Amino acid sequence: MKVTQIQNDADYALVEESICSPQGSSRAEKNFADKAEATKIIVDAVRKRGDAALKEFTDKFDNADLTPEQFEVTPDEIDAAFNEVDPALIESLRKARANIESYHSKNLRQSWEETLEDGSTIGQRITPIESAGVYVPGGKAFYPSSVLMNIVPAKVAGVQEIVMVSPPSYNGTIHPVVLAAVKIAGADRVFRIGGAQAIAALAYGTETVPQVLKITGPGNTFVTVAKGLVRSICDIDTEAGPSEVTVIADATADPRLIAGEMMAQAEHDEEASSILITTDATHIASVPKAIQKELEALSRVDIIQTSLDNNGRIIVARDLEEAAALSNLIGPEHLAIYTEKPRAVLENITAAASIMLGNNTTVVWGDYIAGPNHILPTGRRARFASPLTAEDFRKVSSVIEFTDERVQNLSDDVIRIAAAEQLTAHARAVQMRQKK
């Protein structure tokens, strides 16, 4: 784990440069470039050959010999999977669903219309998109939480058809816990397909898989690159990179809790980033010591250790204002503030996708059950992008209706502007409506 102590402005400038450099700004970029050509071949094949290519890649990459008729998971299979799952876990998933639904219901914009003095109207009309495709990762692990975080906001938004895809990584099908989450969340159709081929199928449609208007959900590098390739065909949420956490701490923070936060992020994969920005130099020794002690009880030790060795970092800042400034440069996916007065630090934060305040609040609450979404911008994108919400599944149409009076009052102004832009047909369209 890299350690840097900032003692003067020159030290700060070096840290700032390391964060803002092209190499440091997006750890995933090179990986994306390396996978781009292979991903494009997969996407083009599915676009041109549909189910035949989908079958070929499912067999090749997921080791699942499925016919197109077997791609879709039946309602009976979903019910059977639901009945396999521990009732206590079902109750926990239902509680998570309720919290997610409640949170996402609170930030919905409303349609509105204003009648002007002359009787003309202007306004906006909010409508849900008609269809959405949800990608839920499989492979090394299974993620019922991602099912809820994608589908529930789409349901809140009023999406008519929600199609979920997930790799057949569990005996040729999808893990029962994931399918149980599907039943709780309420997807309309589910397909056991994954990877770039699943993204292409959702974007272009095949003989079996319906085409959708938006694709959301995290995945591996191939999935992320594929989403970028199809974003001119349909909307996507974000091109997510490796998971990230930044912790801001002072002398009141418990090294064990800091260690736990960094390890929880590091266990996602070897590319995950865990950064501590602290005003207490004793954390240089105490946090790594706590990590090594806690590692003994964890299952993904090698992944955590590799992640922290390669992408872990401790920065000792001169004060909390400087710590906040550095965090804003990073623009982390997750920010945990473990200080005596976390809300005072929050006042200086302008770029973080999900913010946890105080020692009681681990990032994990947001991952599973708090209510806000865990589908978040990564790779410094939190400086300009936001978490997934129900609003991302809705669209705005502006509505205009002019009366005769308004036509006459504004025509000359519009004709002048159109003439300045040398758009004579624009001017003529207005002139046709003027009264002689």
Same domain, 84 and 214: yes
Read off the pLDDT of residues 49-68 as tens digits, 9 standing for 90 and up. 999 999 999 999 999 999 99
- Amino acid letter, 3: V
Residue 50 in domain: yes
DSSP 386: -
Contacts of residue 41, defined as CB under 8 A and 6 or more positions apart, other chains included, come to none
For residue 3 the two structure tokens come to: 């350690």
Same domain, 208 and 293: no
Report the pLDDT value the prediction gives residue 33, as an integer from 0 to 100.
74
Same domain, 215 and 346: no
Q: What is the CATH number of the domain that holds 299?
A: 3.40.50.1980
CA distance 104 to 61: 35
Same domain, 257 and 215: no
Task: Provide the annotated active-site residues.
Answer: 333-334
Cβ proximity of 98 and 369 under 8 Å: no
Mean pLDDT over all residues of the chain? Answer: 94
Q: Which domain holds residue 363?
A: 2-28+242-370
Query: Percent of the chain beyond pLDDT 70?
Result: 97
For residue 393 the two structure tokens come to: 């599944």
| Distances 180 to 140, 146, 175, 187, 292 between C-alpha atoms, Å | 19, 12, 9, 11, 36
Final residue of a structural domain among 370, 390, 413? 370
The whole model's pTM is what?
0.91
The tally of domains found in the chain comes to 3
Read off the pLDDT of residues 197-241 as tens digits, 9 standing for 90 and up. 999 999 999 999 999 999 999 998 899 999 999 999 999 998 888
Same domain, 229 and 259: no
Confidence of residue 31 (pLDDT cuts 50, 70, 90): low
